[in-house]
Amino acid sequence: MYGFIKKESDLKIEDAIYDEVVNAGDGWMHELLPGQTFRILDMEGNQAVDTTFYDMTNPEDHYGAVTTVVMQQNIYLTTGSILRTESGKPLLEITADLTGRHDTLGGACSSQSNTVRYAREKIDMHNCRDSFMLQLAKSDSGIQKRDLAPNINFFMNVPVTKEGGLKLDDGVSAPGKYVEMKALEHTMVLISNCPQLNNPCNAYNPTPVRLLIWDTK
C-alpha cells in the first residue's frame, strides 16, 4: 500500500455513544472495546494529535511503529492501515480518512527535544510527553510512565527528504477533516492534543479536536 487513500465514513455523529472536545494542549485516555469505531476530528485544521495505543489484554504489548511500518511497507498511515503492537498483533484498522496521510516517524515533543531543537529557554514549555505522563498518572489502568510507547502523529506532515532526513512542514488537514479507526482488540487510547508552538505542525496555533466513539460490532 503506497498510495494515500481518502475515504469518507458512513457513521453519523448523532449515533455516537461518546462525544468529547479535547482542548489544545490537553491529554485524553479512554478504552475501546473490540468492534467499536473511534474518530479524531480536526475542528479548526492543521492540528497534530499525538496518539498511542495499548493492548489491554497485555498492556506491555503497546503500539509498535516499526512493526506497523514494516508490515504495511509504508511510513505513512491512511485508510486500510493496520495499527499493530510491537509483537505484530493487529490492534486497530483505519477505516475512514479525509487527509490520506499520517506520520509515524516524528515522535512526541518533550522538554528535552524542545531544548535541543529550539532553545534552552523552551525547556518549560508544555509538551506532549508531559500530557502523556499526566494522563497515565491519573489512570487506574496499570499503565505507567515506563510503558510510554512510540506514537502516531495524526494530521501531522513529516516529509522525508532526499537525504533521508525529516522535515516538520505545514499540516495536511483542514477544518472538519477526520481519521477513523475500528478496534480489533480491547485497546487503550492515549492522546496528547499537541501544544507545540515552535514549528508549523499546528500552524503555530494549537486548537481543539473532537473525539467520538460508535458501537459498530
Strand partners, 103: 76, 153
Q: Where are the alpha helices (DSSP H) in the chain?
A: 65-72, 111-117, 128-138
Residue 61 domain-assigned (yes or no): yes
Q: Is residue 42 part of a domain?
A: yes
Residue 148 · residue 134 · CB < 8 Å: no
User: Which residues have C-beta within 8 Å of that of residue 125, sequence separation ≥ 6?
Assistant: 111, 114, 195, 197, 198
State the Cα–Cα distance between residues 193 and 23, nearest whole angstrom: 7
Range(s) of the domain holding residue 49? 20-214
Q: How far apart are CA 113 and CA 3, in angstroms?
A: 31
Phi-psi region of 78 (alpha: psi -120 to 50; beta: other; left: phi over 0): beta
3-state secondary structure of 136: helix
- Is 15 within the bounds of a domain? no
Q: What is the pLDDT of residue 1?
A: 39
User: What's the whole-model pTM score?
Assistant: 0.91
> Number of structural domains, the chain?
1
**From the first residue on, what is the mean pLDDT of each consecutive set of 10 residues in the chain (217 residues)?**
74 97 96 98 94 95 96 94 97 96 81 60 72 93 89 88 74 92 98 77 86 91
Domain presence at residue 13? no
Q: Are 192 and 1 in contact (CB under 8 A)?
A: no
**Residue 12 included in any domain:** no
**5 within domain boundaries:** no
Task: Provide the residue type at 170 as one letter.
Answer: D
Does residue 58 sit within a domain? yes
E-only strand ranges, the chain? 18-22, 27-32, 36-42, 49-55, 76-77, 82-84, 90-97, 102-103, 152-154, 177-183, 187-193, 209-215
Looking at residue 124, its pLDDT comes to 59
In a domain, 1, yes or no: no
pLDDT of residue 203: 74
